[in-house]
Amino acid sequence: MVQERTLPAFQVDRAKITKEEGLLLYEDMVLGRLFEDKCAEMYYRGKMFGFVHLYNGQEAVSTGVIRALRQGYDYVCSTYRDHVHALSAGVPAREVMAELFGKETGCSKGRGGSMHLFSAEHHLLGGYAFVAEGIPVATGAAFTTRYRRDALGDANADQVTACFFGDGACNNGQFFECLNMAALWKLPIIYVVENNKWAIGMAHERATSQPEIYKKASVFGMPGVEVDGMDVLAVRTVAQEAVARARAGEGPTLIEALTYRFRGHSLADPDELRSKEEKDFWFTRDPIKKLAAYLTEQNLTDQEELKAIDRKVQDTINEAVRFAQESPEPNPSELYRYIFADD
């Protein structure tokens, strides 16, 4: 049986976009989807090891939120499902792929792997393996911005932090503690719940006393918004509003994006707990196909132009794999490097 609450309680008005904006959103989502497909291929071919959690189906959330930020200036904090967040934040595909291969040229120098992507240059605060682990890190980053502006008098300190986590994290104490602090201090942060209905094998509705997560924001006196996480334009609209609030010093926002992962929890998951009926229902709401249809219906593009973007992205990913395969392994003599900060 298809789970309840597949659509938001209210519909967000889609903001009008230009052709350039639409194609950038499309390319970013296609990059995420094709990258993850290639990861699955490489994993099953024995090129990647450990746990690999893919993002297929949730691309509208990453693109809609992160592309509403200032790339390389604002902060992004991820989860163990972090590849696509890194790509949307501007980390080159070759550096992400090399990291997944455990190579020295990876964004974390081969020390992090799939669940621990990090890039200081792109203000990616990291992927985190433990559920809800990134929420206090992101809250601390937002506090840093507020402290620099108010205590140190830095007028240029107006960065916004986007903190991503899943529905399972919302039953963790860190979620409530950090929302409380962020509201008290009016921190410039957006808490983004990617509610894909399942916490590994636990259905969301069975695990929490209040399944509508966005309503929990009211306890802390902050805005809570529910949005269709399969519609990148709707996500982008609410994200832009939340970013504007945060940058203006008006405090945090909790966004609950209703979305769905098309693959199992990880590539080691046989995905036998979710019904075929449920999966088929969500497959019909593919966010990439939805945006492509909108762009063509609005006469902003045509199928040939979209296919050209698909080919361009595939070339980028193929080059990333070549780069990763040809890159050197970390030198064993540097085993203890990066454990402590350099002087």
- Classify residue 333 by its DSSP letter: G
Positions of E strands within 223-294? 224-228, 253-258
**Residue whose structure tokens are 């080159």:** 92
> Do residues 243 and 190 lie in contact, with contact meaning Cβ atoms separated by under 8 Å?
yes
User: Which pair of tokens denotes residue 285?
Assistant: 């709401």
Q: What is the pLDDT, as a whole number, of residue 14?
A: 67
Q: What angle do CA 305, 83, 189 make, to 5 degrees?
A: 100
- Residues of the chain with confidence (pLDDT) below 70: 1-4, 6-7, 9-15, 343
User: Which pair of tokens denotes residue 45?
Assistant: 């071919």
Phi, then psi, of 118 in degrees rounded to 5: -150, 145
Instruction: Round to whole Å and give the CA distance between 327 and 272.
Output: 37
- What b/e string do you get for 148-173 counting C-beta neighbours within 10 Å, with b at 16 or more? bbeeeeeeebbbbbbbbbbbbbbbbe
Instruction: Round to whole Å and give the CA distance between 134 and 132.
Output: 6
- Domain 25-323 architecture: 3-Layer(aba) Sandwich (3.40)
Q: What is the pLDDT, as a whole number, of residue 339?
A: 86
Q: Is residue 171 helix, strand or coil?
A: helix
User: Which pair of tokens denotes residue 329?
Assistant: 């392994």
Q: What is the pLDDT, as a whole number, of residue 2?
A: 43
Instruction: Round to whole Å and give the CA distance between 262 and 244.
Output: 32
Q: What is the pLDDT, as a whole number, of residue 16?
A: 82
Q: What is the pLDDT, as a whole number, of residue 1?
A: 40
**Cα separations in angstroms, 169 against 30, 207, 214, 277:** 27, 11, 13, 26
Domain boundaries, the chain: 25-323
Q: Maximum CA pair distance of the chain? A: 58
Q: Is residue 254 helix, strand or coil?
A: strand
Instruction: Round to whole Å and give the CA distance between 79 and 149.
Output: 28
Q: What is the pLDDT, as a whole number, of residue 265?
A: 96
Q: What is the pLDDT, as a whole number, of residue 11?
A: 60
Given its phi and psi angles, is residue 102 left (phi above 0), alpha (psi -120 to 50 degrees) or beta? Answer: left
Instruction: Round to whole Å and give the CA distance between 245 and 251.
Output: 7
DSSP letters for 101-156: TT-TTSTTTTSS-TT---BTTTTB----SSTTTHHHHHHHHHHHHHHHHHTS--TT
Beta-carbon count within 10 A of 330 CB = 17
Q: What angle do CA 41, 45, 50 make, to 5 degrees?
A: 90
Q: What is the pLDDT, as a whole number, of residue 8?
A: 73
